[in-house]
Structure 1
Amino acid sequence: MSLLTKLYHRLSLPLLVTVGLAFAPASNGAVTSDRELFLKAEKLAKIGRFDRDSAEAKQLENYPLFPYLLYNQLSVHLDKATDADISEFTTRYPNFPLEALLRYRFTEQLGKRKAWDQFLTYYDTLNSPNDEMQCYYGLALFSKLRVQETVELAQKLWQAGESRPDECDPLFRILRSENGLTSEIALNRVLNALENSNFGLSGYALKFVKEDHHKRVADAARATYRSHYKALKLGSAYTTEERARIQRIGLSRAYRKSPYEALDLLIKLGDRFDLSDSKNIHWITKVGVRVAKELKSGDAKKLADLDPTFASSELTEWRIRLALMDQKWNHAADLINRLPKAVLNEDRWRYWHAILPGNQDRASILADLSNNRSFYGFLAANILGEPANLNHQSAPFDSQLQETLKSTPPYIRIQELLELDRYTVARSEWNSWTETMSLSERHNAAHLMQQLGWHQQGILAAAFDNLWNDMELRFPVVYQEWFKEYSARRKIDPIWSHAIARQESALFPWARSSAGARGLMQLMPRTAKRTAKSINARYLQADRLYEPEYNILLGTAYLGQMYKQFKGNRAHATAAYNAGPHRVNSWLKNRKDLPLDVWIEIIPFDETRTYVQNVLSFAVIYSIQQGNEQALLTGEEKKGLKLASR
């Protein structure tokens, strides 16, 4: 009898009492619902005390989430599980999303048990084994006398620029005993450690560097780590790759002090910093863009010195932005012509290429651009006084296919998980379910999620499969009454508020950011509390922000405050909603007279620039959907397009 089967049976008399109490019928003789029974059984399964033989448990056998009970029960006893247990579960529940995790954890147990034959069988089925698992794999290979493979794997793992798991120690002892820890490999770990800002580990690896040349390289790299300007004094005793790595170690240290320190070092390195190396292109981009985002006019010359051959297109884009900021229109136009063709053909640079003075093809470029559904396409249409083009394509629904999809176990489990507000687990179900689907099947499945009210998943699915023209899936119209009611109170456009929520949370009420922002309009608890006080609304706890109506009440109030503070300019207010009013004030300082499209273009936070452009564009889309078409910019905002009005 397998462990899984044994776990189905009664475990002990005390357990029977516990289970009996846990599944006690509701008062007044009411029958406890399957969902309530599941929640009680789940608590027992998570401590390994789920009794499969109880009458109440048998009632759950056809409940959609029953496999989760068995998974939790088996997970608790995984240290005693056998191959038969895992196979039995997989056979019972094929395509269950946690099956892969169960198999992974079981393989880890086999490694701890040193059951190498079974381990090798399971290891080949794993996706992305971690370092610990790879070390077990190396030991399994060695047990089969596959010494060369063991050494090669151990060399790869040992060279990492960070500490290795304790489970790898036996493998590394084999590496040394087989003379696989060479001076070259040790040098590589020294450099990897320094590149990872781990000076202590580089000292440990240095002990294994034996050859004189390797010692010179290691010493030079460690010296440059301590004093980055030593990268300027490297002699000719190094290979091209060695010199480049030491230079980048110095750059990394300089950058940690200040982007300007790194910029100075790069300019002084000059031609010695080989731009035929893609890793070096990455560094001039990283340093140059970071400096450009300080929005200082005097930096334009330094950035030109940094990249005189326009090797970095991203840096060239930021040099264009600085030229726009300084209103050096001819210089901006010259820089645009330096962009690679693929970048030059993007809507962003087609717009600026057309709008800058001196372009005889302005009208035709804007007319062509106005056909596109993008911020710059909508802006071009706005300038020309033409309606925005939505390019919507209705989804090719297949009612028979949808009914088939709705009858599958994954869909039924997702439906029940949503009832329990378990969206993270539901997303795992979605990923597993749709992995082998055709595009048409995934498209229909995405609309089924929308029908269940899980709008966020429909939006994410559309993005994943590039279903850009399905506006109904990408821009669902929900919570409309609340957006209208509470926006009206603050005298702001409800479509704008709706667009903010669409950008902030993809209309997911339970959204929570890493910073702690919550709900549809992603309010920070402190901001919500302050806003509630300002409008005399009751604020008891942060979790109320997950309630759609309450979130919209406070979100529209805060948005209205930003709208008022920035004198009715939605671009400025939108930026403030995302990045904070203090930052927007700093970006407006000495730049209030810039054309509005230029001001948006030079927002130094990539996230905020995209945010503003998306929100304004989403408002256009929602207005068309609701039969109330509006231009990208209001009449007052459009007055700020000084270049466009020439």
Structure 2
Amino acid sequence: MRVTANFLIASTISLISFTFSSKAQSTYSTEQLAFLAAEKAYAHGDLVNYRKLKRSLKDYPLYPYLEYKELLKKLDVKNRPDIDAFITTYANSPLASSLKQQFINQLAVDKNYKLLQEYYSYGRDAKLDCKILINKLTQGSTIKELHDDVEDLWSVPKSQPKECDTVFQKWIDSGAVNHNIAYHRFYRTAHEGSIGLLKYLERFLDHDKRYIVDLWVKAKKDPGVVNRRNFFPARDANLEAPILVFAMQRLSWDDRNKAYKVWQRTKNRIPLSQNHVDDIERTLFLALATENNPKALDWLDKNHLNKFITDELVNHWKLAVLLRNERWETIKELYSLLPINQQKSHQWQYWTAIAQQKTGEQEESALTLKLLAEERDYYGYLAATRLKQPLKLNHVALKLPPDVLKRVEESDNVKRAKELFELERYINATREWRTQISRMNSDEEIQAASQFAHSWGWYNQGIVTIAKSKFWDETDIRFPTAFKESYIKMAKKVNLPPQWLMGVSRQESAYGPLAVSPAGAYGLMQVMPATARSYSRKFNIPYSTRRDLLKPHVNIEVGSHYLGLRYKQLGQNPIYASAAYNAGKHRIDEWKPFGRHPTEVWIESIPYTETRDYIKKVMTYRAIYALKLGVDDDIFEYILSTETGGDI
């Protein structure tokens, strides 16, 4: 009997596998093919073969995925025992929460709110929350008893679903909405919501406070309106001050010089708390500093060096302003004021060492640079290059106990993640993986998981996972060299160093050939489909659909040509080209007028935090990959010996 069953299963697999690619047939295991065949049989209603295949897969890690699909078609109260059993049995799989949510949705459709509340956690879905509240009202609850829940739903800076209209109206009719409740929602809406909702909320404010609605509407439409001498009636500073703060913060990023002048004229027109003044001055300083406006240095010179001294972003821009103006003594003074955690950062240690060097404190500077040169990071590599020392890779291999490796490898989530990854079910694989990582009790287990992910070729997951354990020196996992031949081949084709292309990939996708960003960028070098279409025609690259970008060699070819083109367009400046890869060429054109400075200073002065960090990481990764490839790289010499910016 067993022989017959296996023969039938094998026959079914062979028939159905004709629909799979030749690659799949050659690389998928017998169990994987049986699983795919079972899915196909079930989808086509071939229940006889489905049941045979399912029985053969009882011990296969993805067996619950077959049960899950069956239960999705049986979301009826009479099948509740089976649903509950699945949720309990596979509680550690994301399938359990997914099935639970599907059952909740069905209960809502069936209007079985009593049972729904046994499964549903209030506050996750406004539509369901309101349906439950309405049901409670029909079952005898009073609007007073439901007040707190209704208020939470109502007090958001956006319109709620129409399912909430009935309960909201009953709540309003009960007289529950007073000025304080209404103003709480109004204030949030003024900052985050629409003008239409602001006007709607006017009716709930006290009559003598409703004048602020018109002020807010005008300020949201044109923040410069606060500059009018009679704009603020000075009737209630607590209501009017937030409008000035909002308008000044908006204006600061729109027009720095205008914002500076408006602030000088308006700051004494209405009483402002120190917090309001600080909110405005912080934003105005950051806006001025990012564009290298001279008024940023003026602000620092007016005894503001210790202002916002715990704020890391403000301190960064103080440093950038001082570097642009070569104020080395002031940099040392600022460093002495910083909190200890900021003083310990490699960024501040490096620049303080340079300031010491510039002001004659050579021994102190050399000692700090020598210590930094031992580090494998951006500032460590700058320090090593200044000292003409080799860059350090500092690799330390993982050494994990066999019992830890075995425990991780045999965990159900890891088994399912591995099968799903091999079947190219990447979303489900990632869900299983994250569930497992969240449940791990030790760094050793997390490190073991990262090692397995890397060994499967799931490089980005290996990188992300090992980072959770803060084991930074396992450079084989953290900096994979897969697809090396494709990078070297394309590097020759576009005349760029292969380590640069690999460094971009490491930062863009964490070396994930199957990565897809929320913005729709694909693959290793995070290429947009529109870019691929354009470049495929321009450079004769074989490309037809966006899934082609998940093929490493195609993605590398498109991404390399894109980087190479930016490099040529931007004067063969690798910093410009890398920044353009991240933020777009138009941003480089915007930033050039902010002045010409030593390249390492220009990098510190990139207006976008994301792009600034991106450049530092890509340059560091480029140097790391040069070490791993055994080739020379001069990017840090370039950073230290050139100037960037301006019109030259």
The structural deviation recorded for 1:559 is 3.5
Partner of 1:577: 581
Partner of residue 639 from structure 1, selected from 617, 638, 641 = 641
1:87 corresponding residue in structure 2: 84
TM-score where L is the length of structure 2: 0.81
Paired residues of 1:151 and 1:175 also in contact (CA < 8 A): yes
Tell me how far 1:423 sits from its aligned partner.
Answer: 1.3
Shift of 1:382: 0.9
Query: Is 1:141–1:149's contact at 8 Å kept on the other side of the alignment?
Result: no
Tell me, what secondary structure is at the counterpart of 1:119? Answer: helix
**C-alpha root-mean-square deviation of aligned residues, in Å?**
3.9
Any idea what SS the aligned residue of 1:98 has? helix
Say which of 157, 160, 163 aligns to 1:161: 157
Give the Å deviation of 1:274. Answer: 5.1
Deviates most, 348-357 or 128-137: 128-137
1:472 maps onto 2:471 in alignment: no
Counterpart residue identity of residue 642, structure 2: G
Partner Cα distance (1:557, 1:347) in 2: 34
Q: Is the 8 A contact 1:266 1:306 kept in 2?
A: no
Matched, 1:203 2:207: no
Change in CA separation of 1:490 and 1:215 when aligned onto 2, cut-off 3 Å: closer
Q: Partners in 1 of 2:60 and 2:491 — Cα distance?
A: 43
Mapped partners of 2:487, 2:250: distance in 1 = 49
Q: Equivalent residue for 1:622? A: 625
Using a 3 Å threshold, how does the CA distance of structure 1 residues 598 and 104 change in structure 2: closer, same or farther? same
- How far residue 453 of structure 1 moved from its aligned partner, in angstroms, is 0.7
The AA in structure 1 aligned to 2:97 is A
1:121 aligns with 2:118: yes
Matched, 1:130 2:128: no
Q: Which amino acid aligns with 1:99?
A: A
Amino acid at match of 2:165: D
> Measured at CA, do residues 161 and 531 of structure 1 come closer, stay the same or move farther in structure 2, by a change above 3 Å?
closer
Correspondence for 1:377: 380
Distance 2:635 2:560 in 1: 20
- Select between 325-334 and 363-372 the one with higher mean Cα deviation: 325-334
- Any idea what SS the aligned residue of 2:146 has? helix
Tell me which residue corresponds to 1:14.
Answer: none
Q: Does 1:611 align with 2:614?
A: yes
Does residue 459 of structure 1 match 2:463?
Answer: yes
Deviation, 1:597, is 0.8
Taking the aligned partners of 2:272 and 2:342, their CA distance within structure 1 comes to 24
> CA separation in 2, counterparts of 1:181 and 1:44?
58
Residues 550 and 330 (structure 1 numbering): CA distance in 2 closer, same or farther, change over 3 Å?
same
Does the CA-based 8 Å contact 2:104-2:116 persist in structure 1? yes
How many angstroms apart in 1 are the aligned matches of 2:567 and 2:524?
19
Cα 1:334–1:270 shift into 2, 3 Å: farther
Change in Cα spacing, 1:333 to 1:400, as seen in structure 2 (3 Å) is: closer
Taking the aligned partners of 2:540 and 2:219, their CA distance within structure 1 comes to 59
Q: Which moved more, 1:216-225 or 1:463-472?
A: 216-225
Which of 167, 181, 194 is the matching residue for 2:177? Answer: 181
Q: Percent identity?
A: 27
Over 3 Å counting, the alpha-carbon distance change for 1:77 and 1:201 in structure 2 is: farther
- Which is worse superposed, 541-550 or 454-463? 541-550
Match of 1:66 among 51, 55, 63: 63
Query: Does the C-alpha gap of structure 1 residues 583 and 162 become closer, same or farther in structure 2, counting only changes over 3 Å?
Result: closer
Aligned equivalent of 2:371: 368
Q: Deviation of residue 109 (structure 1)?
A: 4.0
Gaps of 5+ in 2: 1-11
Measure how far apart 1:348 and its partner are. 1.5
Tell me if the contact between 1:139 and 1:150 (Cα under 8 Å) persists in the aligned partners: no
How many positions carry a matched residue from both structures? 614
2:210 match: secondary structure: helix
Task: Give the alignment partner of residue 552 of structure 1, picking from 550, 556, 572.
Answer: 556
Deviation string for 1:556-611 (max 9, x for gaps)?
Answer: 3444444455565433332333334454355446845x212112211223222212
CA distance in 1, matches of 2:202, 2:482: 61
- Conserved in 2, the CA contact under 8 Å of 1:221 and 1:249? no
Distance between the aligned counterparts of 2:540 and 2:114, measured in 1? Answer: 68
Give yes or no for contact 2:405–2:448 (8 Å, CA) kept in 1: yes
Give the Cα separation in 2 of the matches to 1:487 and 1:136.
59
1:245 aligns to 2:246 (yes or no): no
Query: Which residue is 2:6 aligned to?
Result: none
Provide the rounded CA distance (Å) in 2 between the counterparts of 1:323 and 1:399: 53
Match among 146, 152, 169 for residue 150 of structure 1: 146
Q: Which whole-Å CA distance do the structure 2 matches of 1:93 and 1:290 have between them?
A: 52
The C-alpha deviation readout for 1:167-194, integer Å capped at 9, x for no partner, is 2233324423543222321232233222
Q: Tell me which of 393, 396, 406 is aligned to 1:393.
A: 396
Q: What is the match of residue 286 of structure 2?
A: 289
Equivalent of residue 102 in structure 1, options 99, 102, 119? 99
Task: Mark the CA change 1:269 to 1:70 in structure 2 (over 3 Å): closer, same or farther.
Answer: farther
Deviation for aligned residue 1:384 = 1.0
1:13 alignment counterpart = none
Distance 1:205 1:105, change over 3 A: farther
Contact 1:135 1:167 in 2 (8 A): yes
What is the letter of the counterpart of residue 236 of structure 2? Y
Instruction: For 1:432 and 1:207, locate their aligned partners in 2 and report how far apart those are by CA, in whole Å.
Output: 47
For 1:315 and 1:600, the matched residues in 2 are separated by: 16
Q: Secondary structure in 1 aligned to 2:445? A: helix
> Residue deviations 1:337-377, cap 9 Å, x none?
56544334322122222213216132222223223332112
User: Residues 405-429 of structure 1: CA distance to partner in whole angstroms, max 9, x if unpaired?
Assistant: 2223222211221122121111100
Segment of structure 1 superposing worse, 242-251 or 428-437: 242-251
Counterpart Cα distance in 2 of 1:507 and 1:476: 7
Q: Write the distance in 1 (CA, Å) between the matches of 2:385 and 2:45.
A: 64
**How far off is 1:380 after superposition?**
0.8
Report if the CA contact (8 A) 2:305-2:334 is conserved: no
Structure 1 residues 221-620: aligned runs within 5 Å: 221-222=216-217, 224-225=219-220, 228=223, 229-230=225-226, 234=232, 237-238=235-236, 240=238, 242-251=239-248, 254=251, 258=255, 262-270=259-267, 276-277=274-275, 281=278, 284-297=281-294, 300-301=297-298, 310-311=307-308, 313-327=312-326, 329=328, 339-356=338-355, 357-358=358-359, 360=361, 361-439=364-442, 440-529=444-533, 531-532=535-536, 535-564=539-568, 569-584=573-588, 587-588=591-592, 591=595, 594-620=597-623
Offset of 1:536 from its aligned partner?
A: 5.0
CA distance in 2, matches of 1:638, 1:250: 41
Q: CA deviation at 1:555?
A: 3.2
TM-superposed CA distance for 1:36, in Å, is: 4.7
Give the CA deviation at 1:508: 0.9
Q: Deviation of residue 381 (structure 1)? A: 1.2
